[in-house]
Amino acid sequence: MTQPPRLNIVRANEWRENYCNSVQIRLNIWDFFLQFGTIEQNSADVVDITNFQGIYLSPQQAKALLGLLQHNVHQYEQTFGEIKLDSRHVPEAGTVQ
């Protein structure tokens, strides 16, 4: 049996970490576009979304990401309990907040 290649993961100089509570998704036949940002609501009638990063994924990578997220959410819920979503704040299609 052939050994899989060894992974060498390196962080680019441009690497950064950010907190995100807004993800907007657009797609076309070639790719998925995920736009990450933060939501702030300083008044009852205005919600500000500040987007800070956009990432393009191939359909194959998007499906792989979906599987990884499903697996990790399942593990989280097994460890810490069910993640409950407020039905009043269910995101519109294409947006996760």
Half-sphere exposure of 60 (CA within 13 A, CB side): 0
Distance set, CA 50 to CA 6, 14, 43, 84 (Å): 38, 20, 16, 25
- CA 50 from centroid of its chain's CA atoms: 15
Domain membership of residue 15 (yes or no) is: no
Domain membership of residue 75 (yes or no) is: yes
Domain membership of residue 10 (yes or no) is: no
Domain membership of residue 12 (yes or no) is: no
Distance CA 7, CA 35 (A): 28
Q: How many domains does the chain have?
A: 1
Domain membership of residue 81 (yes or no) is: yes
Domain membership of residue 28 (yes or no) is: yes
Q: State the residue range of the domain holding 80.
A: 22-96
Strand order in the sheet with 22-27: 46-57, 32-43, 22-27, 95-96
Calculate mean pLDDT across residues 23-50: 95
Give per-residue pLDDT as tens, 42-57. Answer: 999 999 999 999 999 9
- Using a pLDDT cut of 70, give the percent of the chain over it: 91
